[in-house]
Structure 1
């Protein structure tokens, strides 16, 4: 049986764990991928949306655990680069 991942509360604890642990011993099935945004956001746009659509977007973003503007950006990226998503 695989071990549960420990709760790590600091970056130092996480770094030490990764340096010393054999991750094949742990159950990683509950982990979800995370995307990091590295490109600077130098342009902005203004978009008019219906209130129900904006509320639905915000709710989906909350379920995804990300800010709603990032959620919109990811949806747009997926629409124009579907193979990279």
Structure 2
């Protein structure tokens, strides 16, 4: 079991300036009040973003963010 949700990890990636695509995703997700904040499930978050993530320019950005999330969890 992961120690935190994807959203909790994503919020650690927020960066106001000179942000990469994942950091820009994090910045935008911060303002998405309906984001599945407790989810640790790839399919659930992916489906939500496909249906509601108009701020996400490409699902490839989510895929990269998920890879980083999993890598960060392995470090814990």
Q: For CA contacts below 8 A with separation 6 or more, give which structure has more relative contact order.
A: 2
TM-score by length of 2: 0.29
TM-score by length of 1: 0.27
